[in-house]
């Protein structure tokens, strides 16, 4: 008898779509760190990244009914909202000074020297936001290709092509920097 009651209990995602703010916070919580990391790289400014993620969370809450699919598509949907918020932030008139973000380094990637990290950050900052986004999603956030495609709202083949072209551009910028 008790197992039948627990089976009918709605999931956190279902409760969130029904307007439960606590359930929404619980579902969104694991996505906030990747969203912040994405925004920090896209905007190169810690405070602007925090604002973008906060705005994206509010928009996600307001538009949760538009989410197609289940909880598995939530990450791609939310990261696309964050990416759009970053694009809108960069388009605003006051956005004229670009600062490097103070993103905590991934502990598993401690092998890069400080100089190499600085060169890489400069090269990434020179990419357009549309070039930077697929690289950040795929290499920095380690999203699978199909999720990168859903976040970018393109086919997996188009996402793979965008990653390749952006990586080629990044590689050429780093090569030029080494020579000079």
Domains of the chain (ranges, CATH numbers): 14-104 (1.10.1740.10), 112-180 (1.10.10.10)
Distance (Å, rounded) from C-alpha 87 to C-alpha 37? 15
Higher pLDDT, 99 or 90: 90
Q: What average pLDDT is seen over the chain?
A: 80
- Looking at the predicted structure, is the pLDDT value of residue 111 above 90? no
Contact call for residues 96 and 124 (beta carbons, < 8 A): no
| pLDDT in the model for residue 89 | 85
Q: Comparing C-alpha atoms, which of 72, 30, 36 is closest to residue 53?
A: 36
Burial class (CB in 10 A: 0-12, 13-18, 19+), 85: buried
pLDDT above 90 coverage of the chain, percent = 35
């Amino acid at each position: 008898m008790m197992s039948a009651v627990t089976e009918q209990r709605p999931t956190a995602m279902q409760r969130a779509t029904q307007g439960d703010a606590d359930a929404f916070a619980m579902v969104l919580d694991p996505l906030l760190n990747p969203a912040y990391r994405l925004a920090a790289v896209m905007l190169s400014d810690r405070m602007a990244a925090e604002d973008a993620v906060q705005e994206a969370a509010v928009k996600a809450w307001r538009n949760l009914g538009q989410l197609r699919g289940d909880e598995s598509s939530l990450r791609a949907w939310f990261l696309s909202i964050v990416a759009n918020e970053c694009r809108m932030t960069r388009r605003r008139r006051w956005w004229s000074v670009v600062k490097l973000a103070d993103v905590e380094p991934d502990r598993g990637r401690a092998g890069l020297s400080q100089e190499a990290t600085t060169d890489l950050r400069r090269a990434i900052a020179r990419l357009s936001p549309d070039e930077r986004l697929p690289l950040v999603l795929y290499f920095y956030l380690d999203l699978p290709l199909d999720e990168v495609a859903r976040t970018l709202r393109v086919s997996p083949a188009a996402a793979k092509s965008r990653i390749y072209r952006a990586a080629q551009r990044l590689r050429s910028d780093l090569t030029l920097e080494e020579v000079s």
